[in-house]
A and B are shown apart, each in its own frame.
Chain A
């Protein structure tokens, strides 16, 4: 048997080497194909992810839950201190809640007075986070909602409070959300109250950089950052976070969404704004538009009445 093994080893040597070469070439070919025709291969990637990750789902939930419980358990050691902090915060929150309620009532009254139509189509689908990117270089999460739930590339994803990222890559059962912290994330924002337009650029840190500001002097740490809706990718007015200045003097955004615990994400349905297609006609009296047809009495009179 030992002899037999030795023989097969010699015999299959060149064949093995050939197969190995073919294997390496196939892999490199796939990489080149990805480089040339990225969307097709990315779709393939989304399909593979769609097939593989949900089959892990039964194990992922419990394991993630257990680890989180263990982590929380560590924090029990300073429970008294936390309790005090929470009480203090709760007190502050009550004040804010009161203010918010009053503002809400006032807002409702004013909206009612002005007969404002809010966009009724800004509804959302909520998904559970299945997996993260699995790599320290990419910041993304995988949701358990996908093409069958009507998710479309480019929609915004939020947690309860702030913007988290945008959908990029949709499978049938899963969709990938590129987080605002990813290096490939660029989101147009406005900074309130100065109303400056800027771009939020992810750089693989917890606080993305804010750049391309019209007038940087008007922006102060603590300003609120909202999505601006420029470019039509995002709905406008979603809360992103607060401006903060890093030690190097660059403006960054402290994100409002709780990135420590991304568990449920809302994907906002956004069908884009209806474009205004026709350039707008000249509004003129009927008489001027067709001066040749003079004596059509009844019709002309009706039109005059309409104009007046």
Chain B
């Protein structure tokens, strides 16, 4: 098992996916304000990867990607990045337990994590008296993000081959995960 070479390769793949998503977000296609909000795909991809192969999405990389995203898309710098980092770490710790359970359980976990993150984000912004996005719009975004999760998971598994570690892998490679 190419345990030394492959993580780096897959980390680069993860970084590239996030950069491409960010790039698509920045394309000047819609300059008219919309009544709905697109899902936040970078977060979804991050969670999907963290739950499947935590070693492909190390915390430092996540922090850098989301800090860059914060700076580029005009969010308050650092806050959302810190929350995503905390959320992904929570999921990372729960990943071994979730490995044997079904997908709906995983989806539910991601849902609660995202809701807590969004709530925390809005509360912190409220406490520090920063201008906030309209509540309706961020709720729409939250729902869209959650709907997008299964699709992203499907793509992650089929196209990029990032799957949960199966017993076969464990026997081949490691004792303890």
Residues on A facing B (Cβ under 8 Å): 1-3, 5-6, 9, 19-20, 23-24, 26-31, 34-35, 41, 44-45, 48-49, 52-53, 56, 59-60, 63-64, 67-68, 129-142, 179, 181, 183-184, 204-206, 259-262
Contacts and interface: CB of A to CB of B under 8 A. Distances in A.
A35 B124 CA distance: 11
B155 interface: no
Contacts of B37: 136-137
A64 B79 CA distance: 30
Given A64-B28, A131-B28, A137-B133, A181 B33 contact: yes
B33 to A, nearest CB: 5
Given A24-B82, A28-B82, A35 B26 contact: no
Interface in B74-130: 74-79, 81-82, 85-86, 89, 128, 130
Given A27-B67, A52-B72, A135-B73, A141 B31 contact: yes
A24 to B, nearest CB: 5
Contact of A6 (B27, B36, B67, B174): B174
Given A23-B60, A27-B85, A31-B76, A53 B31 contact: no
A221 to B, nearest CB: 21
A206 B27 contact: no
A258 to B, nearest CB: 9
Contact of A34 (B28, B34, B77): B77
Contact of A20 (B67, B89, B133): B89
B21 to A, nearest CB: 10
Given A3-B175, A27-B63, A137-B137, A132 B71 contact: no
A5 B26 CA distance: 40
Contacts of B74: 133-135, 138, 140
B131 A2 contact: no
Contacts of A138: 73-74
12 contacts: A3-B175, A6-B175, A19-B60, A20-B89, A31-B78, A34-B78, A48-B72, A64-B29, A68-B29, A134-B25, A138-B73, A205-B33
A132 B72 contact: no
Given A2-B173, A23-B59, A204-B33, A35 B128 contact: yes
Given A135-B73, A138-B74, 8 more contacts: A27-B67, A28-B82, A34-B77, A48-B72, A64-B28, A131-B28, A135-B74, A136-B133
B3 A5 contact: yes
B76 A184 contact: no
B78 A183 contact: no
A28 B130 CA distance: 15
B122 to A, nearest CB: 12
Interface string B56-72: 00011001000110011
Interface of B: 3, 22-23, 25-34, 36-38, 59-60, 63, 67-68, 71-79, 81-82, 85-86, 89, 128, 130-131, 133-134, 137-138, 141, 173-176
A135 B32 contact: no
Given A34-B77, A138-B74, A183-B131, A23 B25 contact: no
A135 B75 contact: yes
Contacts of A132: 26-31
Contact of B28 (A28, A30, A130, A135): A130
A207 to B, nearest CB: 9
B93 to A, nearest CB: 11
A67 B128 contact: no
A143 to B, nearest CB: 10
A34 B76 CA distance: 7
B130 A48 contact: no
A2 B175 contact: yes
Contacts of B175: 2-3, 6
A205 B32 CA distance: 8
